[in-house]
Amino acid sequence: MNKKSSDISRPRVLVVDDDRFFLRQMADILAGGDFEVVQATDGGQAMEKLLDGGFQLIVTDVVMKDISGIDLLRRVRQKDRLVPVICVSGVRSFDNVVEMIRNGASDFLSKPFKPEQLLAAARKAYSEYEVAMEKEQIVARSDKWSRELLTLRQLGEASSKEMLQTLFRRTIEAVSDTLQVETASLMLMEEDRLRLVEALGLPREVIGKATVELGQGISGHVAQTGKPLLINDINKHEKFRPSKFRSQYSTQSALCVPLVRGDRVLGVLNANNKVNGEAFTESDRDLLVTMAAQVAMSIDNARLFAGLEEKAEALKLAHEELVRLDKDKTELILNISHELKTPLTTIIGFASLIPSLDLTGETESLTQFVERLSTSASHLNYLVERILELFRLEAGRVPCKLAFHRMDRVLDAALKVMSKLLEGRRVGLDLARIEGVRVKCDTRLFSRVLEVVLENAVKFSPGAEPIDISASWHESLPEVPAYAGGKRSMAPFSDTDGYVEIIVRDRGKGMREKEIPLIFEKFKQLGDILTEKPTGIGLGLSIARAIMERHHGAIWAQVAEGGGTELHLLLTAAEEKGDEGTDG
C-alpha cells in the first residue's frame, strides 16, 4: 500500500465522502496545501483505489451508506498499520470516536471545519507518517544486519589465519572431550600431501612441520580414498605399520576420518588412546564423521572469508591508490596551470605595448592583429584562472573565513561590483522576507558564487528579459536535491537557527529536468558543441558548488514555471540581529 515518500514529489492523499459537496471542498483545500488528491465517492470506490497503492494519507467521512469510515479504517489497518487515516463527521458520537481511536485513526475533525484545521491535521499526520516510515526502515535495516551477522557467526568464527588456528585448536579440544581420547590430530591437504596443523598428545614442535604423502600411512590412505578407517589392532593390520610416534600410543586401536566438503577432501581427523583403554567402536567412528563434516564446513567457510578479506584489502589499497592519483592529478594541473600563466602574462604585457609603438605604414593592420592577440591571450588567461580557481578550492588552498553578515548588504555589495555585467538589465529584488537576517559566509567567496550565478543568468537570458533575485527564510532544512548535498553537506552550527534560500531566475529557454544535475559537473556543457556552440569551459557552476560546500551550504537548479531556470543558493543563518562580521 505504501510508496516511500522520497519516491514522490507531493504527498498523495485519498479523500472519501459520499457527500459530493464536502468531497470537492476537502479535495480543493488539500490540493491548495500541495497534496496530490485522489477522490472516492463511497467506501467501495475507496477500496478499489487503495488496491493501486501509493497513498501517504487517507481522509474519510465516518457516516457513509455502503462502507462506513470506521469499516474502511479497519480494512486499511488490516493491510497497512502506518498510513495515517483522518476521520471527519458531522455527527459527534462518543462511541464513534472511541471506535476510531481503537482502530488507529490519526485524527478526527468535526464538520464543519475551517480549511486551516484540515490542512494542519493533514500535515501533522503526514509528518508523523514520514517519521514512522523512517523508523520502520531503520528497524528493517537493523534486522537485516542482525540476520547477516548471525549467518556469518554460524558459518564459523574464522575469518583470518589467526582465527583459523583458533578453530583448529577448538576442533582438537572438541574431539578429545567428546571421544575421551588422549591423542588427537588435525591434518590439512597441501597440494599432494597432508600437513599437521594442530594436535593434542604429540610434541608441539612437530605441529606445522610434520607432513604425510598422499596415500602413505593411515592418514594418507584416508585422505586419498575419502573414506573413514577404524583399526582395532594396528600391530596386526597387514597394510599399516606403527608410526614413529608409536611410543605415544597406549592402545592398539586407531580412528581416522576425512574432512569432506562436496567432492573435495580438505584433510583428516585422527583419534588415538581412549582414556578408558578400550578400542574405538562404530559409534565413535560415526560421531567423529559427524564432527568432521562440521569442521570441514567451518574450514571451507573460513577460507572463503579469508579470501574475501584479502580481496577487500586489495580493493581498499586500490581505492587509496586512486585517491592518491586523483590528488596527484590535482597537484599536476595546479603546477601546469602555473607554468602556463608565466608566458601568458608576458604575451599580454607585450601585446599591450605594441599599439603605443611608432610603426609607420603598418599601424592599422598591426593594431588589429595585436587586438586579436590580446583578446585571445586574455581569454586563455581567463580559462587558466578558472581551472586554477576550481582546483585551489578542491585542494583546500583557498581560506574560507565564516562570519555573520547581513544578507541584504552582501547582495547589495555584490550587485554593485557586478554593475557592468548587469548594465542594461532590469534586476528585480525581493528581499523583504530576510530583512535583518544574517547569513554565515565568507563575503569574498560568496560574492564569487553570486557572480557565477548572475553571469549564468545573463548568458542564457535574452537581452531584454529581466533577472529576478528573491530570498526566503526557513526555520528547518528545506528539501534539497541529492546532487546538491542536502543533509550530508548542511552540517548545523550551534549559533545558527535557520536557513536563507536565495533564488536567481532567468528567462532563457531553460533545460530538461534530467539535464539539471549535469550542469554542476566539471567541464560539462549542455547542447551540441558543433551546432549550438556553448561558450566557456563548464567550470563556473562547479566553482560555485565547491564554494557552497565550503560554507556547508547547497546550490541546485530548477526549471522555472513559465520558462527559464532558477538557481537556488542555501546558507545557514541566524534570524536574530547581531554584530556585523562576527565570527562563528
Reading across the β-sheet that carries 254-261, which strands appear in turn?
211-213, 193-200, 181-190, 264-274, 254-261, 229-231
Same domain, residue pair 224 and 127: no
Task: Report whether pLDDT(533) > 50.
Answer: no
Same domain, residue pair 211 and 140: no
Task: Report whether pLDDT(9) > 70.
Answer: no
Task: Report whether pLDDT(516) > 60.
Answer: yes
Contacts of 323 by beta carbon, 8 Å cutoff, 6+ apart: none
Integer Cα distance of 86 and 107 in angstroms: 5
In this predicted structure, what is the pLDDT of residue 194?
93
Range of the domain at 295: 161-305
Residue 15: strand, helix, or coil: strand
Same domain, residue pair 480 and 542: yes
The secondary structure of 385-446 as a DSSP string is HHHHHHHHHHTT-S----EEEEHHHHHHHHHHHTTTTTTT--EEEE-GGGTT-EEEE-HHHH
Establish whether the linkage from the previous residue to 203 is cis, with ω within 30° of 0: no
Task: Report whether pLDDT(129) > 50.
Answer: yes
Same domain, residue pair 93 and 175: no
Average pLDDT over residues 439-463: 88
The mean-pLDDT minimum among 10-19, 41-50, 374-383, 444-453 falls in 374-383
Same domain, residue pair 120 and 211: no
Same domain, residue pair 71 and 132: yes
Greater confidence (453 vs 535) lies with 453
Whether 200 contacts 183, CB under 8 Å? yes
Same domain, residue pair 177 and 105: no
Tell me the C-alpha to C-alpha distance, in Å, between residue 50 and each of 36, 40, 75, 337: 15, 10, 10, 61
Average pLDDT over residues 291-315: 79
Query: pLDDT tens, 168-226?
Result: 888 888 888 878 888 999 999 988 899 999 999 899 899 989 999 998 889 999 999 99
Greater confidence (570 vs 91) lies with 570
Greater confidence (238 vs 78) lies with 78
Nearest Cα neighbor of 569 from 503, 498, 470, 492 is 503
Integer Cα distance of 511 and 515 in angstroms: 7
Tell me the C-alpha to C-alpha distance, in Å, between residue 474 and each of 33, 35, 126, 402, 553: 18, 20, 19, 20, 13
Report the CATH number that the domain containing residue 293 is assigned in CATH: 3.30.450.40
Give the whole-number percent of the chain exceeding pLDDT 90: 23
Residue 321 included in any domain: no
Report the CATH number that the domain containing residue 558 is assigned in CATH: 3.30.565.10
Whether 452 contacts 540, CB under 8 Å? yes
Query: pLDDT tens, 76-97?
Result: 988 888 899 999 988 877 777 7
Residue 6 pLDDT class (50, 70, 90 cuts): very low
Integer Cα distance of 416 and 485 in angstroms: 30
The mean predicted confidence, pLDDT, of the chain is 79
User: 290, 305, 320 — which closes off a domain?
Assistant: 305
Residue 259 pLDDT class (50, 70, 90 cuts): very high
Same domain, residue pair 56 and 135: yes
